[in-house]
Structure 1
């Protein structure tokens, strides 16, 4: 089963989210497979102002080295939320992005069934702030890596 939409009210389930004490380095996070639609890709592109024809023009995209429509590399931002349940600790309001590094292997495409493997790698306190180092790897339905990244967040609690 795949989920094709996701909650956009990030406060809705705030009381159910894991807090600092619940984050266990090395433990996989619960994730949800997500079918990436052309509509979701194009809506994301419009919101961020990226109107490249690789994301909108089928004829143009077919003539490109990609052979068809693709999603922009930064689609992992949408996928991060689409592939996690509403009680995931990464969705906590007040979370601050303290840095990230991403590698992009293959473009995501309309119709891809995207799977996320994610976990906290470490957590520590520095200058009274709660930091979590985490990694995320997105796969398509062929078990090919779309992109992978490591991030640092400051936790609200």
Structure 2
């Protein structure tokens, strides 16, 4: 059974996170995932493409290359959810997956605003007991207010 501490989080949004998209970070990300597409590397090639400039690979949303606090790109709302589930007796957690919808290219120089919202929390019975499934949706918009991507992450607690 889900506690009120858990169910009151359904529909709750976290604080917006500001993510600056840097050219060097795009290149480091593309290198890290082994993507040699010249749209992410070659200024001249990208300038002559339909995009007109270097764009970021799918999955890159301005992740910081360095930071002062632990993982600032994780929404605080997710921490609140995890603590509520631990308090409710569901301390074990596994990543149930993430799906992305890419709407517009992300470009270096963009300032993205990410807002995470807990869209659903429900239980499901398994052979090992009750599982709590939570779904967090994160929208990413650029400095023009244009939606560039949506992410839907599922966490499973037991």
Do the two structures share a fold, i.e. TM-score over 0.5?
yes
Aligned length: 135
Partner of 2:103: 105
CA distance in 1, matches of 2:6, 2:42: 47
Higher strand share: 2
Compute the displacement of 1:114 (Å).
0.5
TM-score calculated relative to the size of structure 1: 0.72
The 5 Å alignment of 1:27-106 reads 27-76=12-61, 78=63, 83-84=73-74, 88-89=78-79, 95-106=93-104
Deviations 1:4-40 (A, max 9, x none): xxxxxxxxxxxxxxxx849701111123211110111
Name structure 2 gaps, 5 residues minimum: 65-70, 83-91
CA spacing shift, 1:112–1:119, aligned 2, 3 Å: same
Aligned-partner SS, 2:59: helix
Aligned-partner SS, 1:143: coil
Name structure 1 gaps, 5 residues minimum: 1-19
TM-score calculated relative to the size of structure 2: 0.72
Structure with max Cα Rg: 2
Deviations 1:72-109 (A, max 9, x none): 11214948x6644568429x7x7533233322111101
Partner of 1:125: 123
Compute the displacement of 1:136 (Å).
1.2
Aligned 8 A contact 2:94 2:155 in 1? yes
Partner of 1:6: none
